[in-house]
Amino acid sequence: MTQDATSSGPTGIEPSRTGPLAHLRVLDLTQFLSGPYATQIFGDLGADVIKIEAPEGDITRDLPPHFVGGQSAYYLSINRNKKSLAIDLKRPEGRRLVRALALSCDIVVENYRPGVLARLGLAYDDLAAEKPAIIWCSISGFGQDGPYRDRQAYDMIAQAMSGGMSLTGEPDGPPVRSGIPLGDIAAGLYGVIGILAAHAEAVRTGRGKCVDVAMLDCQIAMLSYQAAYYLVSGTVPGRQGRGHDSIPTYRAFLCGDGLEVAITANTERMWRNLCRVLDLPGLADDPRFAVNARRQENREALWAILEEAFRQRPAAAWVADLLDAHIPAAVINTLDRSLSDPQVLHRGMVLALAGPAGEALRVAGNPIKFVGESEAPHRYPPALAADDESVLADLLKLPAEEIAALARSGVIGARRRVPGEGAG
């Protein structure tokens, strides 16, 4: 599917659910980023996602610095296509409601610390005994077992412990956290993959699974060839800076206008074309640089020559010539440039939403496209407790009087967060 920047205008309507996962219902017991990111993917693909929050709401609803209609941009970026119920899990009546909702769903996703929900009487084994096909996914910092099981973790902790931060930054500088929250995002993505694998098996066997996803595990897996390099050689890699350990012409270079251009001249043909584009004809046959292995051995000398050449012209001019020579290249964009790029807009990756009170919101879109299908309209991220009555009535068949009594007693419904109060 392709769409231009004007074909996905704001929508405030409640769309009828369509998409490949429209047959699934997901109970979302998550907060912060990793879990909500996973469940938003399910919502984008058509699943009915029911987000359960404490009466004070997901703590990210109040996260500064940017707000739209009183809701944090952080919260709004990862909670579209969901319904919100506010239920007090500290109350036995609240726990009974959540258990009943879980049994009415195909999938439960949670990112509490291990054991927290079990202590509240909400454990996979108990639910599976009553509904064998249910799929439960726990996303945590370190997994459901092991010596670090009970530790609390956030994105930067996973990046730090995995060694990923030690690879990030300039070679002579300190370790740097990735500007993209890789620890949380990767856990959300792997969680979705695990759930879909479990669902595929449940379709065949009628039995679900408990999917255990650890942020640290995901970061270790993403070390990929860097882990292999160390395990094979015993050499601890340092910070990667703007380049690559194996290919010296896979690197960023500063251009004459102060912008940097990233190039990936990975093959011998690309290398020769690079020398031609940079007007360095003798360089291709210089014995120091004639093949990649020699270029790698003499990379510092090579980089100095290439840096000097790139400084002679602005980045956009170099990119145009490099692309003409079939060398992948791109200006290193800031977000204002990337989020207005014509390819990004054409693919619908800046998504416009409108809230029920006229809120206007733009967020990053869904990258999963289905050829020949238009993208379904999206539901604006829900206000806290917006769907209490409709979900409890439609799904659990509770009468209006009982729902009203639950609200009066504080078992359901929103209440203001105490200043300084954190998430449980």
Catalytic residues: 184
Cβ contact 104:394 at 8 Å: no
DSSP helix, strand, coil percent of the chain (3-state; round to 5) = 40, 15, 50
Residue whose entry in the numeric block shows the structure tokens 């659990």:
396
Q: What does the DSSP assignment read for 272-312?
A: HHHHHHTT-TTGGG-TTTSSHHHHHHTHHHHHHHHHHHHTT
Query: d(Cα 87, Cα 94) in Å, to the nearest integer?
Result: 6
Parallel, antiparallel, or unpaired: how do β-strands 107-110 and 67-68 relate? unpaired
Cβ contact 356:13 at 8 Å: no
Q: What does the DSSP assignment read for 14-62?
A: -PPP-STTTT-EEEEE--TTHHHHHHHHHHHTT-EEEEEE-TT--GGGG
Close Cβ partners of 132 (under 8 Å, ≥ 6 residues apart): 206, 207, 208
User: Which residue, 194, 191, 183, 132, is CA-closest to 160?
Assistant: 183
Cβ contact 211:198 at 8 Å: yes
Adjacent-strand bridge partners of 330: 262
